[in-house]
Structure 1
Amino acid sequence: MISYTLKCANDHRFDSWFQSADAFDKLKAAGMVTCAVCGDKHIQKAMMAPRVRPARDAAAQPSSQEPVAPPPTQLSEPANEAEAALAKLRKQVEENSDYVGKDFASQARAMHEGSAPERAIYGEAKLDEAKALIEDGVPVAPLPFNIGRKTN
């Protein structure tokens, strides 16, 4: 397999994989390579740097003179405002809600029907269960982060 950076006559650039260089040439000649943005059939290979891995035995080994940094002992700080906002939201959800795991759909439905006391919950639901809750008017929303809890 070979990856090419391609460009069209409108200077849109995109990457595409081909079985070989000959396969690219045959597909281009048949008019089957088109711009991923505008559909233009006038495609050329763009300038790109080759991706070559060094041989296993030629891989650079750290010298004894270079200090090797120890692995981090904790997770890094959020890289930007969006990550910080997600971290804050996650902390708020975990501190103010009960985790009900894979029982989320039945717990949410029971609260909506009045057969269970209302409280803030979060957990996991299969796609079809979540759709059924929404169709039945149960107020639910997906969380913008992975819960990351194990239930075993």
Structure 2
Amino acid sequence: MKVFDLQCEHGHRFEGWFASHEAFEQQNAGGLVVCPICGSTDIARQVTAARINTGAAAPADAASDALAVPPQAMWKFMRSLVDGSEDVGERFAAEARAIHYGESPERSIRGRATADERQALAEEGIETLSLPVPSFLKEPLQ
């Protein structure tokens, strides 16, 4: 398994896991490598620091292991958030308030809110989670 540091045309950096360098090149050329932040397919490899496996296991509390989540698990989690919620778009702040104050049925929603809207919701005690969802996860799987 090859792990590459990648960056989209907008400067978003992320990590990609591939079977080989050739697999990355083939997928990238086919537009299959997508930025998880903005959905761009204009992706370039970045300089990656070399890693040498010595065979010795790292300590259980090593910082590098703290967030070790396989990419497939992360995509599955993000897909479950999208599939299990209603997209209310630009009405997110208004709908979150309506749910919070019992004016609308309680349910999971997702949408877009400005930083000011998120701050106002927080001041009212309405918890939200800011999570960039790539555009390809918003569409049904084929």
The TM-score normalised by the length of structure 2 is 0.46
Greater RCO, 1 or 2 (C-alpha within 8 Å, sep 6+):
2
Max Rg structure: 1
